Amino acid sequence: MNNGKEDTVKTTREEIIELLTGLEEPISIDVIIKSMRDMRPENLVDDINHALKSLKTKGMKFKIHPAVCRKCNFTFKPLKLEVKIPTKCPECKSELINAPIIQKK
């Protein structure tokens, strides 16, 4: 018997929306990906982008700080409210990339 309360399982997007809504400090995409167990990063990036767009329609504002190469400091082109995780620096070909950071405005 559940006393009228049903167990609810949050979807990945709901978890991301909850995380972004309560955001007080900037957060790296890597941190979000590591906190979502057993999910492929490619799928999570889609879910993060969807969550950002959903929250924008509710009046919330975020800034995306672009990825940066750790070797040569190349800054990847920022995209408007969209997260992408580059795999290789176009300048030095290094794969040591700091992931984009999301900041709530």
Residues 6+ apart with CB under 8 A from 78: 64, 65, 66
Per-residue model confidence (pLDDT) at position 40: 78
Q: For the whole model, what pTM was predicted?
A: 0.81
What does the radius of gyration of the chain's CA atoms come to, in whole angstroms?
A: 16
* CA torsion through residues 24, 25, 28, 30, sign: negative
75-102 pLDDT, tens digit per residue, is 999 777 788 889 999 999 999 999 999 9
